[in-house]
Amino acid sequence: MAAPRKTHTNVETPKEASRHRSLPVRKKILFSIIMTAAFFAAMELLLAAFGVTPVTDNEDPFVGFTSRSPLFEEVRSPDGHGMYRTAAKKLQWFNPQDFPLTKGKGDYRIFCMGGSTTYGRPYNDATSFCGWLREYLKASDSRYHWEVVNAGGISYASYRVASLMEELIEYEPDLFIIYCGHNEFLERRTYSRLMATPRAVRETAAVLAKSRVYTSVRALLGLAGSGGAHGSSGAYELPEEVDAILDGSVGPDDYKRDDEQRSRNIEHYRLNLARMVELARSVGARVVMVNPAANERHMSPFKSQHKDGLHADELARWGELIARAKAHQESGELEVALKSLDQALEIDPLYANTHFHRGAVLFALNRYPEAKHSFQRAIDEDVCPLRILSEMRTVVKEVASQHDVAVVDFQELLEKKTETGITGEEWFLDHVHPTIEGYRELALSLLSELQSLGIADPESEWTETVRQQVDAKVMGRIDERAHGVALRNLAKVLSWARKYEEAGRLAQLATAKLTGDAEAQCMAGYDFERRGQLDLAKQSYEKALQLQPRYAQAHYNLGHVHRKLQEWDLAAQSFQQAIEDDPRYPGAHYNLGLLYQKANQLDRAAECFESSIAINAKHPGSWEELGTVRLNQGRIDEAIHDLEVAIQLEPNLASAHNSLGVAFAQRGQLQKAVASFERALAISPQYDSAMQNLERARKMVQ
């Protein structure tokens, strides 16, 4: 019987069927991405429906605060109405402000946010851009009851402003006006943990932090903290109120160049601007940003620092070129001065003050666009950056563009109103704080912007005449004495920061408003003294002493003028009187000691220098002069000790090294003497006395 014949069909094996049905790898990946994205998008929508907000809306990933107390507290007005009023303990940083607890139907509430420029420094709210805007809105548009609240905090950087906004969004705001950028380097922060994280990881985390899924997962894992605690987000905790670097230092000296820190500060600035927009929009409020303005021409950098790695011969050549440039500038040889400055910048392109000097020369040559570039470069290279950097101006524009926010460019506004396009003392009292006219111009520009946004609608009655009436009303409220005190205090700050020329200009303005103020007269005297007008300086100091006879600083400064005029006895009397008025007055003992030393009254000189050291043991000059006196008294061992202390405090005191060499030579330690003289000449190559002493010491060694 024949075997049944096998029939062949088109049926595939399971292996073959599986191979034909499978999708290509690319499609699988694309499908997975789409499904994952769809899942997270659905989760985002679901979480949004449940009211979950991104972590960056409520918390700054860079910094937290050790505690937060509200700016405004609930009070009752005399007529019994509930009000929000600036908390008493906040008045050191904020203007006194108040507004109703419950917003009426016709109310339009605007919060002006930022630092001391928003505050209205050196004055107050009345002549701030907030104060001007409040009056203009009331006079131009009667549709609303305008509430313009000045929430500017002195020395407040963007991270503090953003933190404050978390409170203000609870007060039914309609609009936030944000003016931030000058204080981003004022307070000490650290980003050490952040910088230790790879850049790709940081950027990915920054994107995730804006999602609600990330926020929810973070909360489930227990990583959410109040305000960004150390252990959770790695944020750096700051005190409740500002603790500026400058407040705890001897001035800008505490600042050092740190490009990595600078980058992190700018990144933090960008995050905070974006965060403020999101916070405002979370309650339906609108935002207008102001791109800050700064004094370019009449404010030199606060601190310049040479680039790393310069050799001694390069520094010497740089110094020679700078000195040559100054001499040529003074003699009117501007092109030659410019050439020397350009050569100095080839050696060190990072020294901020060279760029400022170059800008001044270019300005004198009427080459304004080039001058403007140099002035801005001086700001950007300032190691103590207390003015907004050009990179940060770009950040403001980028954040505003990304979030569709209106921007009033205050810098550009002032440039257009300045013939040269370079902002200076015609608009600014110091490095960033405008004149009253400058604040008014910003308010007018903001009014125009609010009109273009459809927020304000000035009525037909709003004319130039009415505006002038408002101007007269605001100016009529000014307390001239209070403004004089503000100018005087600002001059003191600039003088402390070693901005003596700028401080002098303000001191003269303050004196005009404070004719009976001893401190203002004293500061004006110092300005005259600095400019070599010694007779006028003496008159100002004597006026100060007529007003306040036991004014130690005026006696001390008058002593300096007498000494410059070689009126030795009068100088000694003034320094002695300063000591009697204030036994611990800095420098009075030291300067009196110099006079006794000149008169060869060595015992009395030594007593003065010892008293100076007792007040300030870290003053190298007092140790050096005491060592010199001991050397002249033949007390060699004491002289060596005192001179070595002086050098330890200030290693580049060429005169101290020279005196120490003399002391070693007198004790017979010639090798040490030679080393000291050589060190003196390394610091000051043209030091004739050290040259002669070195030559003699080498001969004695031979």
Reduce the secondary structure of 237-293 to three states and give it as a string.
EECCCCCEHHHHCCCHHHCCCCHHHHHHHHHHHHHHHHHHHHHHHCCCCEEEEEECC
* Helical packing angle, 352-364 and 312-330, nearest 10°: 20
| CATH number of residue 332's parent domain | 1.25.40.10
pLDDT in tens, 279-312: 999 999 999 999 999 999 999 999 999 999 999 8
Q: For residue 563, tell me if it sits in a domain.
A: yes
Q: pTM for this one? A: 0.73
pLDDT value, residue 191? 45
pLDDT of residue 164: 95
Domain hosting 652: range is 491-701
Per the domain annotation, does 542 fall within a domain? yes
Specify whether the CB–CB gap between 378 and 259 falls below 8 A: no
* pLDDT per residue as tens digits for the range 471-490: 999 999 888 888 888 888 88
15 domain-assigned:
no
Residues 497 and 630 in one domain: yes
| CA–CA separation, 444 and 246 (whole Å) | 34
- Whether residue 143 is contained in a domain is answered as no
DSSP state for residue 498 in the 8-state scheme:
T
Question: What is residue 496's predicted lDDT score, i.e. its pLDDT?
Answer: 75
Residue 73 forms beta bridges with which residues? Answer: 85
Cβ neighbour number for residue 614 with a 10 Å cutoff:
11
End-to-end CA distance of the chain: 133
pLDDT band at 194 (very low <50, low <70, confident <90, very high): very low
Sign of CA dihedral 296, 301, 305, 306: positive
Domain assignment present for residue 665? The answer is yes
Which has more confidence, 270 or 193?
270
Residue 214's pLDDT band (cuts 50, 70, 90): low
Question: Is the pLDDT at 208 greater than 90, yes or no?
Answer: no
CB-hemisphere CA count at 13 Å for 143? 10
Instruction: Convert the pLDDT of each residue in 514-539 to its tens digit.
Output: 888 999 999 899 989 988 999 999 99
Percent of the chain exceeding pLDDT 90 equals 69
**Domain end position, chosen among 324, 347, 380:** 380
pLDDT of residue 60: 54
Which residues touch 388 (CB under 8 Å, ≥6 apart)? 181, 182, 184, 292, 294, 432
Q: How far apart are CA 218 and CA 212, in angstroms?
A: 10
340 part of a folded domain: yes
pLDDT at 212: 60
Q: Are residues 497 and 376 part of one domain?
A: no
pLDDT above 90 for 504: no
Q: Is residue 614 part of a domain?
A: yes
Residues 45-70: tens digit of each pLDDT: 776 666 665 644 455 555 555 556 89
pLDDT at residue 188, as a whole number: 67
Q: State residue 66's pLDDT score.
A: 57
Looking at residues 328-335, what average pLDDT do you find? 96
Q: For 274-282, what is the mean pLDDT?
A: 96
Assess if residue 186 is contained within a domain.
Answer: no
DSSP state of 169: G
- Contact status, residue 484 vs residue 510, Cβ threshold 8 Å: yes
Q: What is the pLDDT of residues 224-244, one digit of tens each?
A: 443 333 333 445 565 565 554
pLDDT of residue 174: 98
Res. 387: pLDDT tops 90: yes
Number of domains in the chain: 2
Same domain, residue pair 376 and 496: no
Give the domain-ending residue among 380, 406, 437: 380
**In sequence order, which residues have a C-beta less than 8 Å from that of residue 462 and are 6 or more positions away?**
139, 140, 141
Q: Which amino acid is it at 244? A: A
pLDDT at 278 over 90: yes
Domain end call among 380, 413, 437:
380
Q: Would strands 63-65 and 236-238 be described as parallel, antiparallel, or unpaired?
A: parallel
